[in-house]
Each structure stands twice: as C-alpha cells, then as structure tokens.
C-alpha cells in the first residue's frame, strides 16, 4: 500500500513538473548550426503544425516569421518590393517621392552608401516607427487583446502599438493633434479570422523601410492580419501615400508568421545610443576612413 | 604587455567571389570581398547592438602590433549559432577568419569564423 502511495506521488510530481521540464531543455551549444533560442536561451522547437482551426476573433499569442525566424529581416526592403533593381520591384514614385528617396542615404538597396554617408534615422537610434517596425527586422511579436483594443509588442526596438477597436473612427489626418512615431491606429474584424487595421498620423522623419523609401504626412497604412488556422497568421501591408506614390502598393503580401510556444520569451533587442555611438566610433568611422597610402 | 600579444600574423588574403553578406543594420558598402585569416590575442569581446565586435591584437610581419577589429552579427542572431556574450575572454589566443575587409585598408573585417585555443570553431556555418 505504501509503495503504491509512493509511486502515485512520484507520478503526480512528474506530471506537475512536466511542462516546466519541456520548456527548460538543456543548453546545447553547437556552433555553426542554426539552433533557434528564445530570450531565456531555451531551444525553440520546430514550428508546430497542429492543423487545428483558428480560434474566432483571436490573434493573442507570440508569433515569429516562418519558415525561419530571420525571414522578416528584409534588409534590402520588404518582401513585396525589395530594392534590387528589378523592373517588377520599381515603386510607383511621384516626382516628390523619387526626389525624397534619393535624399535618403541607406546602407542597403540600389541607393546604398558607405556607412559614413548614411543618414538612416534608425542608425542614430531614432524610433524605428511604423510601418518600418514591420518592414525591417520583423522578429518576434506578441498580440494582446481585449474588447477595446489590440496591442502588439515587438522584439525589435522593444516597442508596442495600440490598435483601438472601441468604435472610434480615424479622424481626418489634418485634424490629428500631432504626428506620432507609431501613428494612430483603428482596427476591426471584417470576418471571424481577419483583422484589418488602418493607421495614419505618422511622423515624416521615419522611413518606410530599410532602403529609405519615404512617406509624407498623408500616409495611410493598412494591415490585414488573417489567421489562416491555429498555427499560422498572414500579414498583408499596404502603403497608400498620394504625395509619394501614384498608387497604393503591397509591401507585404500574405507574409506568414507562426504561433510560438506559450513559454517563448521575446528577446531584448534595443537600439542603445551608447552602443550605437561606440559602434560608430569603433567600427563605422574607421571602416570608412580614407584609404591609406 | 608585449609578451601577452600574439605571435603570429597570418595574412592570407585571397580574392574570392562571394555574394554580399548581410549585416542588416548599416550595410556592406565599406567592405570588399577579400578573405583574411589572422592569429591574435583577444583584447575585448563587445556584445552589443547593432553588431558585436571582437577586438584582438596581432603582430604584422615587421613585428608591429596591429589592433584588429572583427565585426560580427547582432547578439540576437549570434545566440542561435552557439555564440554568446561569454564566448571570448581577453588574453585568449584565437585564429580569426574574416570575409569582407575594410576597403579603407584599416585592420577591420567581418568575422566568418573564430578558432579558440582548444580548437573549437565558432561560426554561423553557411549563414551570415
């Protein structure tokens, strides 16, 4: 009888601790191989494919680009329109849009310049802003939602956005109190699995992407978040700025993100001014110094 | 101090046709496509955004100490390849292979792999 009690106790204890054990797999360092880890250094399992249906009107959870966590880096511009010189990726610039783009000096793309000539605002740790937060280094994100709003937190630059769904309407752009780095956002469910967000009032100092595509105060961004099933979320992001572009364009078109385990800790990835200054002093300026004789 | 400095300077410069590697923050325009391997002594391992960098000293073929700097990816990427904030300690002798050297001629390159004193190799494999 006593043995049965002991055995039952051991089994119960094992069951109680099983989730924690699964989440705390031991470190296995093997350099040269890409073994994805979350912020607490735990190995992230392969993307789950349960095939389960999506919950209704629910985006909550932690998401990362799939198939690989680095697929949202978009160093040379967003997936839909990289700055690679291909005709199909030429954007419909207005004359002002083209002129403004050429005034921007990015580190990547067809207009890339050496580091010392770069005037990328994010390279001096200005807020990355919206929509660039989704068009450059789109890493892990987490959705929180209640009846009034959806909030998104982003790994990159440790920022958050609020999307209101309490019935308020977007004002006219000219009626906004001030521009904001991340704008003013209103969202609505257009069906049980599709959440559409419109954002205006974006600060003109930000770039749209990592290759310096510009925007004006008239920019309106539309995000369509479509939950395909339990495991997969798709993002389509549309840029509409009549001052800079002759027609709207999709920077992302059904870009896929995968649901991560509940224990996934979003890594800290901030732009620290002191680190940026150290990088500039130690690397950027010397690397661009005049060639020695 | 000199005794702590390294020893051998292997400058094996080779022109290779490689595709531009991607450092997602500042860009590639200041680097060429050369590859160089240098044996030196770690002076600092700077684990910061937007890029980490390894400082190490080595002597050139005339015996002069050269202060090298190897730029590497952001911590948020390196951590997935077994490279951590504790991977290098000052005073360790390492062999650093860099792919992409500063066009300016400064002793700066982009790290491809590092061999530690015990022979362990740290790299991102085929990814950069």
Shortest distance, CA B7 to any CA of chain A (angstroms)? 24
Structure tokens at A24: 């705390």
Yes or no: say if A44 and A128 are a contact pair by the CB < 8 Å rule. Answer: no
Best CA proximity match to A120, nearest among A287, A291, A286, A284 = A284
Q: Are B106 and A37 inside 8 Å of each other by CB?
A: no
Domain limits, chain B: 2-118
Domain limits, chain A: 64-264
Q: Are A272 and B79 inside 8 Å of each other by CB?
A: no
Round the average pLDDT of chain A to a whole number and report it: 89
Please tell me the CATH superfamily of domain B2-118, with its number: Nucleic acid-binding proteins (2.40.50.140)
Yes or no: say if B80 and B60 are a contact pair by the CB < 8 Å rule. Answer: no
Q: pTM for this structure?
A: 0.84
ipTM: 0.76
Mean pLDDT, residues A128-137 taken together: 98
Best CA proximity match to B79, nearest among A89, A57, A289, A43 = A43
* pLDDT of B30: 78
Q: Note the pLDDT tens digit of each residue in A34-56.
A: 899 999 999 999 988 888 999 99
Residue in A283, A284, A286, A291 to test binding to B, most B beta-carbons within 10 Å? A283
- Name the band, by pLDDT with cuts 50, 70 and 90, for residue A285: confident
Q: Are A272 and B48 inside 8 Å of each other by CB?
A: yes
DSSP secondary structure code for residue A257 in this structure = E
Residues facing residue A93 across a β-bridge: A245
- Tell me which chain A residue has its CA closest to the CA of residue B21: A75
Yes or no: say if B102 and B94 are a contact pair by the CB < 8 Å rule. Answer: no
Q: How far apart are CA A274 and CA A107, in angstroms?
A: 20
Per CB-CB distance under 8 Å, the chain B contacts of A264 are none
Q: How far apart are CA B124 and CA B78, in angstroms?
A: 7
Shortest distance, CA B1 to any CA of chain A (angstroms)? 22
Shortest distance, CA A89 to any CA of chain B (angstroms)? 20
Q: Note the pLDDT tens digit of each residue in A140-161.
A: 999 999 999 999 999 999 999 9
* CB neighbour list of residue B123: distance below 8 Å, 6 or more residues apart: A31, A32, B81, B112, B113, B114
Per CB-CB distance under 8 Å, the chain B contacts of A269 are 49, 74-76
- Name the band, by pLDDT with cuts 50, 70 and 90, for residue B25: low
A80 has pLDDT over 50: yes
Shortest distance, CA B112 to any CA of chain A (angstroms)? 10
């Amino acid at each position: 009888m006593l043995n049965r009690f002991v055995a039952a106790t051991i089994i119960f204890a094992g069951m109680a601790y099983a989730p924690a054990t699964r989440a705390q797999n031991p470190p296995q360092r093997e350099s040269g191989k890409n073994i994805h880890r979350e912020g607490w250094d735990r190995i992230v399992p392969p993307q789950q494919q349960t095939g389960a249906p999506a919950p209704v009107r629910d985006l909550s959870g932690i998401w990362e680009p799939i198939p690989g966590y680095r697929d949202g880096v978009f160093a040379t511009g967003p997936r839909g329109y990289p700055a690679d010189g291909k005709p199909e990726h030429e954007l419909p610039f207005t004359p002002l849009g083209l002129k403004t783009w050429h005034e921007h000096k990015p580190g990547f793309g067809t207009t890339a310049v050496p580091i010392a000539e770069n005037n990328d605002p994010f390279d001096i740790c200005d807020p990355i802003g919206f929509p660039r937060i989704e068009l450059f280094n789109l890493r892990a994100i987490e959705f929180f939602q209640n009846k009034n709003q959806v909030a998104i937190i982003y790994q990159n630059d440790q920022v958050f956005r609020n999307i209101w769904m309490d019935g308020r309407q977007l004002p006219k752009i000219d009626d906004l109190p001030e521009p904001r780095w991340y704008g003013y956002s209103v969202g609505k469910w257009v069906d049980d699995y599709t959440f559409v967000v419109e954002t205006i009032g974006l600060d003109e100092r930000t770039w749209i992407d990592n290759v310096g595509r510009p925007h004006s105060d008239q920019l309106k961004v539309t995000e369509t978040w479509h939950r395909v099933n339990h495991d997969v979320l798709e993002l389509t992001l549309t840029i509409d700025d009549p001052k800079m572009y002759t027609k709207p364009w999709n920077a992302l078109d059904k870009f896929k993100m995968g649901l991560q385990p509940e224990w996934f800790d979003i890594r800290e990835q901030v732009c620290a001014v002191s680190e940026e200054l150290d990088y500039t002093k130690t690397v950027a300026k010397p690397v661009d110094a005049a060639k020695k004789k | 101090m000199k005794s702590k400095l390294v020893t051998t300077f292997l400058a094996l410069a080779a022109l290779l046709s490689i595709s531009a590697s991607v450092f997602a923050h500042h860009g590639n325009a200041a680097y060429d496509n050369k590859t160089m391997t240098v044996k030196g002594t770690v002076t600092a391992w700077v684990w910061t955004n937007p890029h980490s960098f390894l400082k190490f000293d080595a002597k050139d073929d005339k015996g002069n100490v050269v202060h090298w700097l190897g730029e590497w990816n952001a911590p948020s990427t390196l951590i997935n390849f077994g490279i951590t904030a504790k991977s290098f300690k000052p005073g360790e002798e390492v062999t650093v292979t860099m792919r992409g050297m500063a066009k300016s001629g400064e002793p700066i390159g982009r790290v491809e792999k590092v061999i530690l004193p015990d022979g362990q190799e740290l790299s991102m494999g085929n990814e950069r």
